[in-house]
Amino acid sequence: MTHKLDVEIKTPLEWGKRAIETVMRQYSPLNMPPANRWHYHQGVFLCGVHRIWELEPNNAYFDYIKGYVDGLVDEDGNFLFRRDELDAIQAGLLLFPLYKETGEYRYKEAARKLRSLLDTLNRNREGGYWHKDKYPNQMWLDGLYMAGPFAIQYGQQFNEGTLIDLVLAQEQLMRTSTKDEQTGLYVHAWDASKQADVCDPVTGKTTEVWGRALGWYAMTLIDFIDLLETELQKREPLIEVFQALMNRLIAYQDEESGLWYQVVDKGNEEGNWLESSCSCLFAYALAKGNRLGLLDDLALKHSEKAFNGLLSHSLEVATDGSVSLHDICIGTSIGRYQDYINRPTTVNDLHGVGAFALCAAELEKAIRQ
C-alpha cells in the first residue's frame, strides 16, 4: 500500500516521524479526539511522540506534548479526569518527562492525584482492580498497561516501593487468571465473580485472545523488565514469562504479511483479519526484548518483518507526504469471537498511530545497537 513516492524513507525513525507529524498537522493538541479530554487515546499517541522526541529532540514534538497537558492541567495541578477507571491513569506517563524537563509543580501534583486513584478504585475479592466501575470484578489485560508503567515510575521517583509491589501483584493475578494453556497466550479478561455472560462460568475467563489487549500486555511486560533493571528478584520471573510469550507469538505471526490477526490464534477462521495496532505492539516487544538481550536476533528479524508488513499492507502515503495507517480496530469491550471480528476499523486512530510510533522508535534503537 505504501506509495512509491517514499521509497527514500529508509529507517523506522523516519516513518515514525512521518506518522506523528501527520496527526500533529491535523489536530491542535487539545483537539485530538476525544477533544479537550484527559484520555488514554491521546496518552498513547503522545507517548509515541515522546519516544520519537527522545531519539530526535525536535522542540515541536515536546511542545505538542506540553500543549496537551498544559491545556488540561492548571498551574496548581488541578484537572478533570475519570475517577472510576484504570484508563484515566495512562496519560499520566506524560507527566514524568514534563516534570523532569521543567520542574513545574503542576506535573508532580497531577501525578499525585492520579496515583491516588489506586487507593480508591474498586477491587475484586482477590485484590485485582476492576477495569472500570461499570465492569464489576473484571480484570482486563488492557488495564495493566493503563496503570502499571505509571505506578512503577511513580513508585521509583517518589520513593514508594510498596506501589511497585502492588503493580507486580496485579500482573501476577492477571497473568494466572487469563492464561490459555492450549496456546500459551492470554485471553482478553477474567471475571472474578464469573457472572459476565461472555466468560466461562467455571474459570471466569473470556474465550478469545484479542490482539490489542495482548499487545498492551506484551509491551507492558518488557517495559516493566526495563524499569526494574536494578531489582533482579522482581525482574527475573517477568523475564521468563516474557520470553515464553514472545516464542508463542512468533508462531502466530502471519507468514505472508508479517502481521498478526485481530483474534490472534484464529487466523484461519472465517471473518478474522490482520490488525495494525497489535502488530505494532508485538513488533515493539520483540525489538525491545532483543535490545535488552532477552531475545535472540531471530526475534529482531520477526519484528522487522512485522514493521515491513505494516508499511506494505497497512500504510498509505499521500502525495503531500502524510501517512494513513489502516486496519486499526476501534476500542472494544470483552466479547465472543464474532464480537471481535465484527468491530469496525478506522484510519489513523490514535491507538494505532501511537503504537506505530512506539514501535518505530524501539525498532530504531534495536537496529542501531
Active site residues per annotation: 142
Distance CA 326, CA 17 (A): 17
> How far apart are alpha carbons 210 and 205 in whole angstroms?
13
Task: Tell me the three state secondary structure of residue 191.
Answer: strand
Residue 126 DSSP one-character state = T
Three-state secondary structure call for residue 253: coil
Q: Are 219 and 273 in contact (CB under 8 A)?
A: no
CA 216 to each of CA 22, 57, 168, 195, 278: distance values in angstroms, whole numbers, following the listed order? 24, 26, 15, 25, 8
Three-class DSSP labels, 58-112: CHHHHHHHHHHHHHHCCCCCCCCCCCCEHHHHHHHHHHHHHHHHHCCHHHHHHHH
Residue with cell 496485579: 170
Comparing CA positions, the residue from 279, 278, 307 lying closest to residue 366 is 307
